[in-house]
Structures are given as C-alpha cells and as structure tokens.
Structure 1
Amino acid sequence: MSDIKSSSRRSLSRIFLSAALAGTMLATGPLASITSAQAAPVSVTAQAQPGFSELVEKVRPAVVSVRVKSDVQAARNERTQFFGGNGNGFDQLPDGHPLKRFFKEFGNPYGPDGDQARPNKRQKRGDRGHARPLAQGSGFFISEDGYVVTNNHVVTDGDSFSVVMDDGTELDAKLIGTDARTDLAVLKVDDKRKFTYVAFDDEGTVKVGDWVVAVGNPFGLGGTVTAGIVSARGRDIGAGPYDDFIQIDAAVNKGNSGGPAFDLSGKVVGINTAIFSPSGGSVGIAFAIPASTASKVVDQLIKKGSVERGWIGVQIQPVTKEIADSLGLAEDKGAIVAEPQADGPAAKAGIVAGDVITAVNDETVKDPRDLAKKVAAINPGEKASLTIWRKGKAETVSIDIKAYPDDQKSADKGTDSSSGNSETLDDYGLTVTPDENGKGVVVTDVDPDSDAADKGLRAGDTIVTVNNKDVKSASEINTAIKDAVKNGRKAVLLQVQRNGQNSFVALTVDLG
C-alpha cells in the first residue's frame, strides 16, 4: 500500500513538473514570439489643449460677489425672476412652460412656494436695527476706481449694497443706476485702493463655437469658475424688446447673475443673466447679455444714472411670407406697422398702418426686434431716415427721434359688433357685418375649418382695410381680393382691429 502511495506521489510530481515546464514553454517558447509580434495598443498623440488657469488667475480678482440688503422685503411671489430678480413678463407664459417654471422656482429666496421665514408686516415695520439679507449675485469691476457691473434683478428692492472681493474683503457700494429693459445695473465702491478690472469686448467678436469662461458666485460659492462654448447668438427669450442674448453651455446657476463670461483673451463677452432649466439647476443652457450691448448701457448709467433710447412710436409685427406675398415684397423681412401711436414721431412723419419699415439709415431691418434695437441706438433729438414699402414701392421718410417715454398709455377703443346686416365671404369662411361707426366690417362668425380661422381671425374682430384699401362691406372686400388676384398676388393683407389694437393677417387667395 505504501508502495502504491509512493508511486502515486512520484506520478503527481512528474505531472506538476511537466506542467511547470509547459508553463516555461508558454513564456519562452514559440508562443512568446507570437505574443511579442502582436500590434501595440491604440495610442493617440493629440495636440495639448490649453487650460484656463492663467486666464483665471488674472481675471478672478476683478470678479466680486454682490450682496444686497433691504430694510423692507417685498413679497417676492408678486413677480417672476431671472436668478432672483424682478418680473419681465414671464408670468404671462402658459402654465407648465419651462421658462415660467424656472423663473418661479429658481430665483425665489424663500423656496418654490415663497413661504420660508418671510418676515410679517409687524417685523418689517418694527425693529430695523439691521438690514435683512435679500439677494446674492455676481459682478465685476470695469474701472480701477471701483465701478461694478451687475444685473438689475440682483439689486432690485435693495436698500444697501456691498461687494465681496476674491480675497474675502467686503466693501460697501452705492447704486449708480439701473436699466430694467436690458437688466443691467452699475454700483460704485468708494475706496482709495486701485482695483483690478476687466474690459468689454465692444466689437462683439465672439463666435459660435468659441470658448468662454464664466466666473461668479453660484449658490454663494464665490470665485467659482466654469467653462463652455458659445452655442448660439441672437437669442430672444421673451425678456424684453431688446433681447439679443448669447447662448453659452457653461454651467451657470443661481448666484451667477451679473457675473462675466470671458473669452480666452480675458475680455468680457457677456454678462450671465438667465438659464433655461426645467429642474432649477444648470442643464448647460445659459444666456448672457452681449458685451456690445452692455458697454453702451453701462456708459450711460455711469454718466447719467439712467438710459435714454430712441423711440418712434409704432406698434409693429413681423412680415411673414404670406404678408410679403400680399404686398409684393421680394423678401419676408422688415417690420409692418400695425398702428402708429397718436402724436408720436412716426405719425407726425406720415407713417401709416400697413407701411413696412425695411431700413433705418440705410441699414436693413430684419424683423421687429431688429427695428427696435436700431431705433433705440439713435440718440433722442436726432433725425433718422426710414425706408418704407408702401403701395408696391419703396419710399424714404425723415423722422425725428424722440426719447422713449417712461409711461406709454394706450387707448382702449373697443368695438361694437351688434349690427344685424351680416354678409358672407364663403370662400374665406367669414361672416361680416358693417361697423356701426363706418370704419370697416365686423367679423360675426368664422368657419373653424377655414384659412381665416387658422390665421387667428375670430368673431368680434374688425377688418379695417384689405391691401391698404378701406373696406366697409363684404363686396368691397371681394373687390379688393379680385384686384389682388389680377395682380398675381398669392395673398391679401387684412388690417384687423381687436380690443383697440391693430394687427395684420395675410389670407391666401385662390388664383384659379
């Protein structure tokens, strides 16, 4: 038995020895040659990408956190906000709209419902031994003597202001001026020291795809740096008549408002103002006021404390393809005048409803927003030349530019649609009746399956003109339509009055 065990042990030893030798063969034999002949793993020699450390080191001392305090805190639920600022019309957006949800929830210092630790009236009127914190945002020095740019919505309702520098030093500041229409504000720090400051890229040279670096105070974390690219330009987010935002994909959050976005040369290309976010945090879409806009506004705020803009007094709307066809315009560009304001510069210059403004001082007008910006850039008191399209040809009108009024009041004219002498425009799905005041025809019924319904016409509207010709009956409308067909027009232009406001609607015509 012991011999069998010894024999077994010797056999096992030979097996292990053979295995060891085989292992040696695998490591040093023919297979080793095969292994060494295999292709090397993938390796890419890429051009080294520049970092932002040198840029950040130089510009960060110019960026500050802005602290705002108030003795009396107004209820913040009464307005929607950017990153914690005042209303700009977003409360008019439909419920569920992502911008409305963000501006309701994201900037409210009391949380989504606005109920957290809100001082009651007795507290507001009682102990005022110290100002209460109201908001925090960002800003940056634009001069060595202490001028700071930030957002208007950051400083709104504030009674006292301070800035916190990159080294933690907190300095008092005073408000120099604000401009709600562009959401800009200027503060001034009075101190003997010379501040590190940055400059605007006045020429607006930043392009889609360029790197940008944002520095600010997100969530109170001062001196935070994020980077991204310019993803779009000329964005209109419905904040105001002068919307021209730069869209960037850098992470921008609450507290970044008023902070700068830099190009790689250290110039400010934009001022971070808003983000698009269904959740309330950054999803990579932020909006910045272009430096070319901000520099002009900031200059006026420093010199005058307010901003004066050119104004001509017109209600305008876009020129659609259908409107262009109805008027014989080659391109759907410009802004069609729905109504000139009574006694306004445009009315005094002879501008009438139906005129299409195609250029200002020989500069082409792309759309109503472009017209508003071009006119606003002209100093009040100066004259301007408007190119208009009227009755199938271009004309030039000289106009006196006035200052934008602080409070524009519009008259509510109203319309009586009770007349019983209805006529039908069957081809267009309209039933109309002469207006009692002799100014057009009142729409009493609209076929829901008609082109008129698709274009937004509804009962109660008053059709005042067709292709700039006054109409007082359905037959006059039909005559105007026939004239348009004879001239080869693909659509007719209706001037429609609703609740005292004029607009234009282009109806497609059947050319047979």
Structure 2
Amino acid sequence: MFLLKRMMAVTVATALLGWQSLGMAQSLPDFTDLVEEVSPAVVNISTSRAATSSPMAGAPGMPDLEGMPPIFREFFEHSFPQGPQQQPRQQQPSPQSLGSGFILSKDGYILTNNHVVEGADEIFVRLSDRRELLAKLVGADPRSDLALLKIETDEDLPSVRIGKSSDLKPGEWVLAIGSPFGFDHSVTAGIVSAKGRSLPTENYVPFIQTDVAINPGNSGGPLLNLKGEVVGINSQIFTRSGGFMGLSFAIPADVAMDVVEQLKVSGSVQRGWLGVVVQEINKDLAESFGLPKPAGALVAQIMPGGPADEGSLEVGDVILEFDGKEINMSSDLPHAVGRVRPGTEASLVVMRDKKRRTIELKVGALPEDDAVAASSAPAEAVPSVASNRLGVVVAELTEQQREALDISAGIAVREVRQGPAAMVGLRPGDVVTSLDNQQIESVKQFEQLTEKLPTNRSVSMRVIREGRASYITFRLAD
C-alpha cells in the first residue's frame, strides 16, 4: 500500500511538472511564421578586391580581413590556424563572403554595414533563391557603419517592413537573421538587454544591446521584433575570447532610416554638432553644481570657433534638456544633437550658477575630424606658491601657455604634495581654470578661494590636462 501511494504521489508530481513545463513552452514565442515571412528579403553580401596576400592567407577558409573591425580580425586570427609563411604577391580579385543585408524596397535598395563593403572593388548580393547580382554602392556612412546598395532586376523583390526602434523595451524578444561564417539565413533569438548604449568607437549612435547570438557574417543583417518588423541592424559584438559572449549591438532602425534618406539624396550624411566636450555628472558633481540628482551633461570644454563658442553656452553649464529631449547621461547629448540637421535653432535647458536657464543655439555640422583639442608642453612659469590646504604648488600661467590652450585665465600646477589634490589625482602640468564654480584669474585668488572652501560638501575643480578639460570633485574635512 505504501509503495502504491508513493507511486501515485510521483505520478501526480510528474503530471504537475509536465503541465508547468507545457505552460512555460506555450508562453515562449513561435518564430516560424516570422522567419518564413522575412527570410526572402535577407541577403548575403560578398565583395571582391585586388589585395596582396598575408601570412594568414594560407589558412583554409580564412576570409579577407581587410576592412573588418579589429574585434573581428582578432576573432579570425585566433580561430584559424596560420598557414605557411608566404612572400607577398599580387592576387586576382575573388569574392569573399563578408556579411548580410536586407532588401528595403521592391526596386532593389539594400541596407548593410559599411565595414562589410568598405574598400570593395565589386559588391555581390546573393538572394534567397541563390541568384547573385552585382550591386552598386549608393552611399556609405562610416560614423553609423551603414551602407546603402542598389541592385537592378526586372521583377519586384521581396522587402522588409520597418518598425520603430524607439518603441522597443528592455526584455522584449528580438530575432536576427544573417549569414554567420557564410551559413546563409541562420536564425538566432534573444531579448533586448538595453537601449541607448554608447560605444568607444562611435558616440553618435544610440546602440540597441541584445543577447542575440551574433557572429562574423551577421553584420548588416536585420534585428526583428515579434511583428516581423526591422528594428535594428546588427553591427558589433563585445568579446574577450573572439566569439559571442552575450553582448551584441544593433543600430536602431530610426537612426538607420534617417541615414538611408540622406544617402539616397546626397550619398553622404550630415549630423548636428555643438562643439563641446562633456562629461558625466556623478553624485559629488551634482552636489557641487546644485543639482537634485546626478543627471545631465557637464560642459567641460568649448571648441574654439564651434557653435557653442559662437552661441551663449558656457563652460560649467550642465545641459539638462536638448530640443525637448531630457539628457540624463552625458552620452545622451551626442545622440540627440547628431540627429538634428545643421543650421537648426535648438532650445537647451541648462543649470548655470545653480539656476535653470533656457538658451537658444544654432546647431552646426559635425566635422569629419572632431578631435579639435590640442596638447602643448608647459612653458616656464614664474616662481610658484604653495597652498597647504590642498597640498598643491601652483604658478601663474605664461602668455605662451594661455595662447597654446586658448584660455584667458587659470593657474598651472607645479607640484602635488600630500593632501586632497593628490587624493583626487591632480598632476604637475595640469591647469586649473575654476574652483568651486568660480573662475581662477591668478595665484593670489586661488589661495584666497582655497582658504574659504567649505567643509563636508563636494567642491568642483575644472582642470585642463594635455589640452582636454574635465571636472573633478573633492571634499575637505573639518
């Protein structure tokens, strides 16, 4: 009897577990219809180019590494055994399978990543029915890593539907279709991990982060929502091993479609630019600037001759809103400004002198090379004076230093002794231009300010190091 009861209990438990598993399975999405609908519009992209061989060229199956991002080159160099060393020799152009793309419209416009086709002599598109067509490069935008292609056919082509990436939410299911390692129409799925990510390689694209498995060859393929709409273009992965590690990044469809329209019209893309260097607001900076919470973009430096320099923005302003968009993190600002057409009058809400202000500013065009800040070696300074409260020895700036840094005020750090300055990382050669939100005109004024600094609250200091300005904070004890 005991054995019978035990068997019945096990049977009931198994049944309950089965029902629970069935319920979980029923809650998971079924991608089959979506894949069947969209796959015909997904294509494989290959290129040919005249190139010289390298020591890696002898590795079986080794793709052409030219034009690939470093993260992908590193992946292939670790994944393929090196062939025998060869002397460089001229090779005939041969097609190399590099990535994916998708058909935007029935007349043959195709979107892919710029790094997939960059530097190619010829671009080939392989359709889902195995036909290969020669594609024309309409235009490319290296900043967003997008390229627009065009193929010519006598028939209407299958195309994708474009969704709104702004409607995506973290935790939402998404799907990728592409050609990883040349395996056409491979399907992987996952969820949206985060939105609005900035990557070190590009500050003007608010990337969608997912955990969808993306590998070399997926680049340029579509990221789809459960409606079968394209909400992103798979572009990059983050990896320490060379393979997929759960961090994939896609260009939002909203950004991509704006780029596509500009490429169709002019073959290039223009972005808005303020001409400022901004930094993140942390808890201490927020307290120092009178903010209720760490939010906004702190203007640490203004580029000479840029839109901000010609407008009414000032160093030390904290940008809280740009053109009606709230700026929570400093990385939000380039995303918002970049999508505004140059020449547009934009409204900014800033915190200045612990008061909110609204200013108007004409947005400029982002230059090709926006690394404007230049560094210069410090010239000889006049004899220095020690400020024992901060533990720093400072000196007046020479005229040559002022001209090199394009500043009218500030003092030079000659020596850092034990004290608060050393603790916050101040270095000899740094130039201090403001302390506790007050501009520094002379060594004497700096000494006076340090004697009056408050205790037990955050104090900000603006420092120029090797031509680049930033704010640091410290706190003095009683």
Normalising by structure 2, report the TM-score: 0.86
Partner SS, residue 95 of structure 2 = strand
Number of residue equivalences: 455
* In 2, Cα distance between equivalents of 1:279 and 1:463: 42
> 1:220-259 alignment to 2 at 5 Å?
220-259=182-221
Is 1:61 the counterpart of 2:40? The answer is yes
Is 1:459 the counterpart of 2:428? The answer is yes
Of 154, 159, 176, the match for 1:214: 176
* In 2, Cα distance between equivalents of 1:134 and 1:381: 42
Is 1:406 the counterpart of 2:368? The answer is yes
Which residue matches 1:280?
A: 242
Partner SS, residue 239 of structure 2 = coil
Letter in 2 for 1:496: V
Structure 1 residue 203 displacement after superposition: 4.8
Letter in 2 for 1:52: F
Q: Deviations over 1:281-307 (max 9, x none)?
A: 223332211222222222222232111
Is 1:479 the counterpart of 2:453? The answer is no
Change over 3 Å in CA distance of 1:320–1:118 after alignment to 2: farther
Change over 3 Å in CA distance of 1:117–1:53 after alignment to 2: farther
Which residue matches 2:467?
A: 500
Structure 1 residue 260 displacement after superposition: 0.9
Structure 1 residue 151 displacement after superposition: 0.6
Which residue matches 1:322?
A: 284
Structure 1 residue 344 displacement after superposition: 1.4
Letter in 1 for 2:94: R
Which residue matches 1:196?
A: 158
Structure 1 residue 411 displacement after superposition: 5.8
* In 2, Cα distance between equivalents of 1:406 and 1:144: 33
Which residue matches 2:328?
A: 366
Of 412, 415, 425, the match for 1:442: 412
Normalising by structure 1, report the TM-score: 0.80
CA RMSD in angstroms comes to 3.0
* In 2, Cα distance between equivalents of 1:152 and 1:454: 45
The percentage of aligned residue pairs carrying the same residue is 36
Is 1:391 the counterpart of 2:331? The answer is no
Structure 1 residue 330 displacement after superposition: 2.1
Q: Deviations over 1:211-264 (max 9, x none)?
A: 222110011111111122222323333221124222222221110111112111
Preserved CA contact (<8 Å) 2:376 2:467:
yes
Letter in 1 for 2:446: I
* In 1, Cα distance between equivalents of 2:86 and 2:287: 57
Change over 3 Å in CA distance of 1:500–1:294 after alignment to 2: same
* In 2, Cα distance between equivalents of 1:256 and 1:61: 16
Structure 1 residue 134 displacement after superposition: 4.7
Query: 5+ unaligned residues in a row in structure 2: which ranges?
Result: 57-63, 403-408
Structure 1 residue 455 displacement after superposition: 2.9
Preserved CA contact (<8 Å) 1:256 1:272:
yes
Letter in 1 for 2:233: I
Query: 5+ unaligned residues in a row in structure 1: which ranges?
Result: 1-29, 78-82, 91-101, 125-129
Preserved CA contact (<8 Å) 2:165 2:231:
no
Preserved CA contact (<8 Å) 2:311 2:361:
yes
Preserved CA contact (<8 Å) 1:141 1:149:
yes
* In 1, Cα distance between equivalents of 2:202 and 2:368: 15
Letter in 1 for 2:422: A
Structure 1 residue 57 displacement after superposition: 0.9
Change over 3 Å in CA distance of 1:36–1:411 after alignment to 2: closer
* In 1, Cα distance between equivalents of 2:155 and 2:85: 39
Preserved CA contact (<8 Å) 2:196 2:332:
no
Structure 1 residue 350 displacement after superposition: 2.6
Structure 1 residue 444 displacement after superposition: 1.7
Change over 3 Å in CA distance of 1:323–1:86 after alignment to 2: farther
Is 1:174 the counterpart of 2:128? The answer is no
Which residue matches 2:147?
A: 185
Preserved CA contact (<8 Å) 1:209 1:230:
yes
User: Which one has the largest radius of gyration?
Assistant: 1
* In 2, Cα distance between equivalents of 1:446 and 1:505: 15
Preserved CA contact (<8 Å) 1:354 1:468:
yes
Structure 1 residue 382 displacement after superposition: 1.5
Change over 3 Å in CA distance of 1:198–1:508 after alignment to 2: same
Which residue matches 1:352?
A: 314
> 1:10-159 alignment to 2 at 5 Å?
39-40=10-11, 42-43=14-15, 44-45=18-19, 46-47=22-23, 48=26, 49-72=28-51, 86=67, 102-106=71-75, 120=88, 123=90, 130-159=92-121
* Greater Cα shift, 201-210 or 458-467: 201-210
Q: Deviations over 1:148-168 (max 9, x none)?
A: 111111111111101111121
Change over 3 Å in CA distance of 1:379–1:146 after alignment to 2: same
Preserved CA contact (<8 Å) 1:74 1:157:
no
Change over 3 Å in CA distance of 1:232–1:373 after alignment to 2: closer
* In 1, Cα distance between equivalents of 2:169 and 2:420: 41
Runs of 4+ in structure 1 over 6 Å off: 30-36, 74-77, 115-119
* Greater Cα shift, 409-418 or 214-223: 409-418
* Greater Cα shift, 276-285 or 180-189: 276-285
* In 1, Cα distance between equivalents of 2:411 and 2:166: 49
Q: Deviations over 1:28-84 (max 9, x none)?
A: xx899778766525122223344221111111001000001112469899xxxxx96
* In 2, Cα distance between equivalents of 1:388 and 1:170: 54
Partner SS, residue 335 of structure 2 = helix
Which residue matches 1:269?
A: 231
Structure 1 residue 206 displacement after superposition: 2.2
Change over 3 Å in CA distance of 1:197–1:119 after alignment to 2: farther
Of 478, 491, 495, the match for 2:458: 491
* In 2, Cα distance between equivalents of 1:60 and 1:372: 34
Q: Deviations over 1:82-119 (max 9, x none)?
A: x967587x7xxxxxxxxxxx444125699598x88888
* In 1, Cα distance between equivalents of 2:313 and 2:5: 88
* In 2, Cα distance between equivalents of 1:214 and 1:288: 10
Letter in 2 for 1:455: V
